[in-house]
Amino acid sequence: VQLQASGGGLVQPGGSLTVSCAASGGSFRLYAMGWFRQAPGKAHEFVAGINSRGDSTYYSDSVKGRFTMSRDNAKNLVHLQMSSLKPEDTAVYYCAARPLVVVTSDDYNFWGQGTLVTVSS
């Protein structure tokens, strides 16, 4: 499975942004998807996950209530809608895929290249 993340950019604090991940080359509907991020000088961090059917989502405490993850299995896409963004959300965001179930560790089989989100005034 190849993953291509897109949609990053510069947004002001309190603003909103949606990043997306397009999958190709595999049976997308069989994969759970995750979003991770890495800020400069910080560890890789689980942000959100969605199971293969799209009926269960998981969020880190730092983004719960502000971020929403969704998927479109017909279009092989996942989205991460981010709102009420804070400067501490600034990071490179990566999408990742693994069979069936979400885990919060880095135990994913496939990774996208990352898209930079910068939250700054």
Please, are residues 70 and 59 in contact by the beta-carbon 8 Å criterion? no
The pLDDT score that the predictor gives to residue 26 is 79
Identify residue 69 by its one-letter amino acid code: M
Q: What's the rounded Cα separation, in Å, for the pair 69 and 24?
A: 19
Both tokens of residue 20?
A: 């997306």
The pLDDT score that the predictor gives to residue 96 is 97
List 98's β-bridge partners, or say none: 32
The pLDDT score that the predictor gives to residue 25 is 86
Please, are residues 96 and 110 in contact by the beta-carbon 8 Å criterion? yes
- Residue-wise pLDDT tens digits, 23-68: 998 799 999 999 999 998 999 999 999 999 999 999 999 999 999 9
Phi-psi group of 60: left, alpha or beta (phi > 0 → left; psi -120 to 50 → alpha; rest → beta): beta
Per-residue pLDDT at 100 exceeds 90: no
Q: Which position has the token pair 């947004």? A: 11
